[in-house]
Chain A
Amino acid sequence: MSDSPPTTKLPAQSPPVDPAETEVAGHKASAGTARLSWWHGDGGDGARRNLALIGVLLILFVIGAATRSDLYSNPDWVWANMLSILKLASVVGVVTVGMTFVIIGGGIDLSVGAIVALAGVWCTTVATQSFGAAGMIFTAIVVGMAVGLVNGTLIAYGRLVPFIATLAMLVAARGLAAEISDKQTQISQNSTINGIASNSLLGIPLLVYILAAVVIAGWVLLNRTTFGRRTVAVGGNPEAARLAGINVKLHTVLLYVLSGLCCGIAAIMLTAQATSAQAAMANLYELDAIAAVIIGGTLLSGGRGTIVGSLLGVIIFATITNLFAINGLSTEAQNMVKGGIIVAAVLIQQVQFGSLSQFFRRNNRLTTS
């Protein structure tokens, strides 16, 4: 045993025999690529996907410019059109922020459209309108959060599957909305509320400000707070979260309450846009929101996702709608394109960029027996 290194007594920190060799191999290799590591590494996953989504938006813009070059030659029109796309995206966008939290937390909320309708109808009853704009906003938000509380309680403590619980709520909430409104369209008489949709500040519609505020609040909540951290933990591995001392059930309830809150805000926005509310409003918003979340790269199984991705998903959908509208095409064709985009987004998620580049590399180099 002439070659054995000097004996050191553990656990005293012993100087390695050959410092160059004990350095983790990867650290040496990574030095050169350190700056790009966010791109290649896992941390850049969300950023990479969001860049891809921005690429999709650019492509849609080019398609628009190519098909209606007459309109796109006017910069003022392009600006106005972009604002109208954002305005179009604003209501679903707010709902999608809440949905993103629920899905990252390992659940799903099929009742969002119904909650928007219920909150919209409740806040436009004659009795509620008599309390003025503040009363209407308060009502919409409280109704939204209350329905979310019921959803969350059924799921966390009643142990219902989220899909079932919120599906039942979808039916029930729309039923209640029809009951309250007596199946009538309720006109909003409140000029402050209606003004939310018609007014602008510095040339930008108020609705877009609301969307921006909700998105920024959502981003901060997810990425900078303990609430966001718990959401990722609860969705990623509920058992691990529980054994780390996180109150998984309570947090699950809070996630659905948050989704309800977003629906309440969206209800005000949508009521303002239509200057009225009815039980059939916000129809199929749940599908738009879920689709946007999926396109945005949030895992349906929970534990990972981004607010920015979801926002981009919503904007992509609104842009497609806009593209079809300015070209005077049917909504049927539009729905088919949207469906195709959802499938494409999920396929891209499965064939991840990393494995794709690996795939190309190995096919260049290796021979298969």
Chain B
Amino acid sequence: MSETGRPLVEAPADAVAGEVVLRLSDVVKTFPGVRALDGVQLEVRAGEVHCLLGQNGAGKSTLIKVLAGVHRPDSGLVEWRGQPVSFANPQAAMRAGIATIYQELDLVEDLSVAENAFLGHEPRSLGFIRRGHMARRTRQILGRLGHAEIPPGRMVRALPAAGKQVVSMARALSHEARLIIMDEPSAVLAHDEVDNLFRIVRELTAQGIAVIYISHRLEEIREIGDRVTVLKDGRTTAANLPARDTPTRDLVSRMTGRTIEYVFPERSADTTVGEKLLEVDGLTRSGEFADVSLTVAAGEIVGIAGLVGSGRSEVLETIYGARRAESGTVRMAGKALRPGSVGAAVRAGLGMAPEERKSQALLLGEPIYRNVTLATFARYARLGFTDIGKERAEADRIAESLEMRPRDVNRPVRTLSGGNQQKVVVGRWLLGGTRLLLLDEPTRGVDVGARAELYQVIRELAAQGVGVLLVSSEVPEVLGLADRVLVMREGRVVRTAPAAELDESTVLDLVMSGSLMEGAAA
């Protein structure tokens, strides 16, 4: 059999497009103190892309974990291809033909790409893993995913975030699946990557495979989706809406119970900015970025646009002292910052919300309030004794302004939905005392409503004189929020201009070219 002629996924021979493969009725799932699913209805047909919409904490991830055998429902019926089922574990769901790409990446960092792709179902003969075969299949899947440049033997730890996302897609595709569930797969992907993803999704559905697709980006759902089911507070509020024709305000109102008109707060007429706060001059780290110079004034929001791997996150981390620059200087309010010292940066008033919430920002087992005050608890302490009451009150304030739910700040962060965890990460630096805010993909996984709140909060901070340096893969976000935009490509700033002088297609043209591995390999 020729390697190239093989389909991406072995489509089950008896898959009939249009037939209902999955039906959920009245599914309920409770966690201690939370009714995550409260009677969910869902119907998925073979060959369709069924989108799940809902606010942060609506129960989308819980629902797909029920389907994937991670959780078992308390009550309700799950019918898979006409049979009532209850998967005892994820393996059982996979055997039944349900493959899942989880919202939080679940890769083993110290295994290779190929080992991760085939984790738990390695091709074997006589008890030995057929490594060559596994590497070949992995290379083939990666090739079809448009990422032939990722070596199957590379440790997953060495890959950038988007590369990891590709590997977890490869894992889902390594199964013979009839239903592939994707929980916010595009959250970590750049523009061109998303196009790639959609091409794959179309290939899958053309073979009669059903796809459940979760995203907070409505424009994606319009482009790829067939039907939409909306969840709110664990309940289905609308089922099987046509994805292309349902008006946005209708979708949003069913999700949130209200209508959102302006996502981006209007700029205030007063565009004067304060004195220079951050001055970066000739910053260089070989293999990551070179000769980056930029300034952020008090009250100014500066956006950095660029592909994943263009060096944006690395620039931010270097300014923050989390990486040490090889040359160049960072000055904050006129004073040079000690290179490679996060402590010095924080003392000078810098704060950074990093890109990867789970590995870089959160103590998952600790309560929300302790995560919110992770950078500031010492400030509330007296003689080394922490003031928990004050910390809770401050965290409460943040939870309120960012619409965190549940509002109870004593809950462990682990039990929060992905979008709500993201709010904790950003909220940490909104407590006051931050003079320059570095935001790396601040709205990753955050729903439409909360996103608007977050933008508003950022604007208000700027109005109070805080400088903001924002990195985002979403060009509209950069253009809508920033006063001034830097475009980065392959580790260099290729354009600096006021946001008003740029439009989306100009930025995309500047940003494109260069692939995932080029930026990260060195």
Contact = CB atoms under 8 A, between A and B. Distances in A.
Interface of A: 1, 4-11, 14, 16-18, 21-30, 33, 37, 40-43, 224-229, 232-233, 236-237, 239-247, 303-304, 354, 358, 361-362, 365-369
Nearest to A236: B363
B362 A11 contact: no
B33 A26 contact: yes
A6 to B, nearest CB: 7
A151 to B, nearest CB: 23
Contacts of A239: 359-360
A25 B38 contact: yes
A253 to B, nearest CB: 15
A243 B34 contact: no
25 contacts: A1-B250, A5-B253, A6-B258, A7-B261, A9-B262, A10-B453, A10-B456, A16-B257, A17-B258, A22-B233, A23-B233, A27-B408, A29-B34, A37-B32, A225-B384, A240-B360, A240-B374, A242-B322, A243-B361, A244-B375, A244-B428, A246-B343, A362-B72, A365-B75, A369-B80
Interface string B51-91: 00000010000000000000011110000100111101000
A40 B32 contact: yes
Contacts of A368: 86, 88
Contacts of B38: 25
Nearest to A11: B456
Given A10-B453, A224-B386, 17 more contacts: A11-B265, A11-B453, A11-B455, A17-B257, A18-B257, A29-B33, A29-B35, A30-B33, A37-B32, A226-B386, A237-B364, A239-B360, A243-B354, A244-B346, A303-B363, A366-B72, A366-B86
Contacts of B34: 24-26, 29-30
Between B72, B235, B258, B411, the greatest number of chain A beta carbons within 10 A of the residue's beta carbon is seen for: B258
Nearest to A31: B33
B130 to A, nearest CB: 31
B247 A224 contact: no
A368 B36 CA distance: 22
Interface string B342-385: 11011100001010000111111111001000110110010011
Given A229-B370, A245-B342, A41 B32 contact: yes
B145 interface: no
A367 B83 CA distance: 12
A40 B33 contact: yes
B143 interface: no
A10 B234 contact: no
Contact of B233 (A25, A361, A366): A25
A116 B262 CA distance: 67
B412 interface: yes
B230 interface: no
Nearest to B88: A368
Q: Which 6 A-B pairs have the closest CB atoms?
A: A26-B34, A245-B346, A30-B33, A11-B456, A244-B375, A40-B32
A17 B255 CA distance: 12
A306 to B, nearest CB: 13
Nearest to B377: A229
Contacts of A362: 72
A236 B86 contact: no
B260 interface: yes
B263 interface: yes
A10 B453 CA distance: 8
A226 B407 CA distance: 25
A304 B413 CA distance: 14
Contacts of B327: none
Given A41-B32, A237-B363, A240-B361, A369 B415 contact: no
B259 interface: yes
A1 B246 CA distance: 10
A8 B378 CA distance: 40
A225 B30 CA distance: 35
A243 B361 CA distance: 7
Nearest to B38: A25
Contacts of A354: 32
B363 A232 contact: yes
Given A42-B411, A226-B377, A242-B342, A37 B33 contact: yes
B206 to A, nearest CB: 29
B257 to A, nearest CB: 4
Interface of B: 30-36, 38, 57, 72-75, 80, 83-86, 88, 232-235, 247, 249-250, 253, 257-263, 265, 320, 322, 342-343, 345-347, 352, 354, 359-367, 370, 374-375, 377-378, 381, 384-386, 405-408, 410-412, 414-415, 428, 449, 452-453, 455-456
B242 to A, nearest CB: 14
A24 B57 contact: yes
A17 B346 CA distance: 42
Contact of B33 (A10, A41, A233, A358): A41
A245 B374 CA distance: 9
Contact of B345 (A22, A29, A226, A245): A245
B56 to A, nearest CB: 11
A33 B360 CA distance: 34
Contact of A9 (B261, B359, B408, B455): B261
A241 B262 CA distance: 36
Given A42-B415, A366-B72, A10 B86 contact: no
B88 A24 contact: no
A2 to B, nearest CB: 11
A232 B407 CA distance: 23
A362 B54 CA distance: 27
A197 B80 CA distance: 70
Contacts of A361: 74
Contacts of A225: 381, 384-386
Contacts of A10: 260-263, 449, 452-453, 456
Contacts of A366: 72-73, 86
Contacts of A224: 385-386
A245 B434 CA distance: 12
Given A5-B253, A42-B415, A245-B343, A24 B361 contact: no
Contacts of A8: 258-259, 261
Nearest to A44: B32
A7 B32 CA distance: 35
A24 B233 contact: yes
Contact of B412 (A6, A17, A42, A233): A42
Nearest to A42: B412
Nearest to A9: B261
Contacts of A365: 74-75
Contact of B85 (A21, A226, A303, A369): A369
Contacts of B346: 244-245
Contacts of A243: 320, 322, 342, 352, 354, 360-361
Contacts of B84: 367, 369
A4 B249 contact: yes
A237 B370 CA distance: 13
Contacts of A17: 257-258
A5 B360 contact: no
Contacts of A229: 370, 377, 386
Between A24, A244, A304, A369, the greatest number of chain B beta carbons within 10 A of the residue's beta carbon is seen for: A244
Nearest to B429: A244
